[in-house]
Structure formats: structure tokens, C-alpha cells
Amino acid sequence: MHPGSPGSLPSPSNPVQIEEIVPGSDVSRSVWRSACQASSGTSMARILLLGVFDIETLVKSNLRDAVMSKHSDSAGQIGTALNGKMAELRLAMSRKNVK
């Protein structure tokens, strides 16, 4: 359940207000704090994925291609994208000095 009043789901009449670490990042402060305390990069990525996307979206994205295939022309693209996003978030956090 997303942050908000207990037992209520987000809707147009009941929007959820999330304090983002960087406007437009869709990463809340609580999710970022949890991810920073993770013991490994894998657990950090899982925390961030679960904090940004709902379970239904994650399940559907995996069901589209249940057999993970790696294309030779896309080697490292996902890792590069994740590293770039993490660097961007770290830079923004250091500039704002948010803890």
C-alpha cells in the first residue's frame, strides 16, 4: 500500500502525496533511506523497484518475457542505465544535502 491514510487506496479524489528526493524521480525519501541501508546492490535495486513500481506492473513486465534472453547488442545497457540513474540521484542528493 502506498503512503497515505491507512486502508485507503490512491484515486483521483484521494491522491497520495509523496515527498520525492528529487522532483520527478518518483523515489520517496523513505524508499531512498531504505535503499541506502541495503547490504548489497541487488537488494538496493529490489527496494527501489518495489518503491517505484506496483507489484502488478513488475509481474506483468516479467511475464512478457519469462525466459530471460540477453541480446548481444544490448549487453550492459540495463546496467549502464541503472548506474547513470544512480549517479544522477546521488549528485542531486549531494547538492541538496538530503539525509
Residue 97's identity, in one-letter code, is N
Q: Which residue has the higher pLDDT, 58 or 31?
A: 31
- Cell numbers given for 10: 490512491
- Reported as a single tens digit per residue, the pLDDT across 5-18 is 444 455 555 555 66
- Reported as a single tens digit per residue, the pLDDT across 55-89 is 888 877 765 555 555 555 555 677 777 788 888 88
pLDDT above 90 coverage of the chain, percent: 5
**pLDDT on residue 75:** 52
**pLDDT on residue 3:** 47
Degrees (nearest 5) of the Cα angle 43, 97, 88?
A: 55
Q: Which long-range contacts (CB under 8 A, 24 or more apart) does 23-28 make?
A: 25/89, 25/92, 26/52, 27/51, 27/52, 27/89, 28/3
Given a cut of 50, whether residue 2 has pLDDT beyond it is no
**pLDDT on residue 37:** 92
**pLDDT on residue 28:** 86
CA distance 81 to 88: 11
